[in-house]
Every structure is written in C-alpha cells, then in structure tokens.
Amino acid sequence: MSATELERRVTDVLNRRAEEAMNTTNTDERLVELLEKSRAADRRRSRRTLIGAVVATAAVTALVLWATTRGEDRAQPQPAAPISPKQVAAQYLDALAAYDIPRAESYLSTDADLKLWDNTPTDLDGWRAAQAWNEAVDLEMDPRPCQEGATVASTTDLRCPYVFEGLGSKELGLGPYHGSVYLVTVRDGRVVAASDQFAYDANGYSGEVWEPFNAWITKNHPRHVDVMYTDGGGSQATTDQSITLWHRHLIQYVAAKL
C-alpha cells in the first residue's frame, strides 16, 4: 500500500470517527479535536506532495544542466560586455529614484562635479543630504530615457528628463510635474558630473505645492521657519534637524489639507 493511499484511509477513518462522535456524544470539543487531526493529516500530505514536486524539479534541473554542460566542447562563459554611457546614466538615476544611495554613489567618480536643484555646486556630503531631504518630503522621481549628446575623448554628455511628485502633491491630487532634467556626464563607465535642473515654476509646482506649504509653515510653525529654510522660505535647509522637521510637518500639512 502506498503512503498516499494509507494517508487517505487514515483521513477517512478520522472523518468517520468525527461523525460517530457527533452522533453518539454530541460533544463539540471531541469533534473539534478529531477535525484538527484530520486537517493535520491533510497538511502532512500536502507538505509531502510539495516536497516531492520540489525534489522532482531539482532533479530535472540537474539533468538539464548535466546534458547541456557534458562533453569537452561545452560553451565557455562569456565576459559581460561593458555598459554604455547611456546605461550608466540610466542606472544612476534609477538608483536615485529608489533612494538606493550606496548604489547610486557607486556610479560616481571620486571627483564628480555635483550640482543641486538651484545649480549650486556641492560635495559628496551635500549630495547625500540633498537625497535625504528628497526622501523626507516624499519626492518621487520618474526617470525617462536619456538622450545622448556630444562624445569627446570617451566623455559623453547626456540629457535625462524626469517627472516628479513631492511635498504631498500626490495625496492632494496635484501633479505630476514635468520639465525637469538631469544633465549627466559619463567617462569610462563613471558619472563625472551630474546637475539636477529642477523645474518648479512654469510647470505649476511652486504655486500649487511649494508656496502653500511655506505659507502653512509660516502660520502654524513660525519658530521652525529659520531651521527649515536657509533664506526665510526660498530654499530648503538640509541639516538633520531641518530634514526631521520637513518630514514631520509634511505629514501634518497633508492631514490638515485633507
């Protein structure tokens, strides 16, 4: 008798006992106990079936691998082709969009020329703080395909547009906002320059999102204005304390608006 057939019979016996218990003693506790045993038997059978399927799949995979690799003339693995400047820029921006900062940083050259939203040069620490601020205010960047420009002496300039949401715009039914572009320069597989050309005026972001939030902060948290902004409301500060306040007050702002 196979194990599957035996388990089926055990399950049938348990089910019959459950019916007998209900008919003879009418004891709910006994019925529950027997049903749990029956379910346990079903789970054990299902588990064994799953294990059998996994083992069978592994065996087939091993057989296919053996069949494709046996013999002295089997194909040798080919080295990975170097990625293009366009791929480097795209992967760099994808990492930024996912806030995978270590991965994004891995694409930067050691002396990369980095510029922030207002075209202000920054060092690596300033770049990291800017990404932390972006994440704190729920900036969602949707990179679009990069367009290659001039290539001179293995250095390629690329123009990479993106669409964004942020500062509660999605929750408030505003946006998305178009017109922003990353200007990226790639040399020898590394990003040697990146400038965030952040569009905020003509696309409506300033009037719909930035200015209303600034007015709400000024009215409800005036003592925090000088911590959160560097010039009374024109530009954001990216200190640890400022980033914490931006995130906290953004949640409060969206709740108040809704």
Model confidence over 42-72: pLDDT tens digits? 444 444 443 343 334 333 333 334 344 444 4
The structure tokens listed for 179 are 């017109």
pLDDT of residue 9: 58
Instruction: Answer whether residue 30 shows pLDDT above 60.
Output: no
Mean residue pLDDT of the chain comes to: 79
Query: Quick check: 126 and 196 in contact, CB under 8 A?
Result: no
Nearest CA to 117 out of 230, 4, 3 is that of 230
pLDDT of residue 26: 46
| % of the chain exceeding 70 in pLDDT | 68
Query: How many CB atoms within 10 Å of residue 177?
Result: 22
Statement: the pTM of the whole predicted model exceeds 0.85 = no
What's the CA angle centered on 141, arms 149 and 255, to 5 degrees? Answer: 160
Mean pLDDT: which of 39-43, 45-49, 132-136 is highest? 132-136
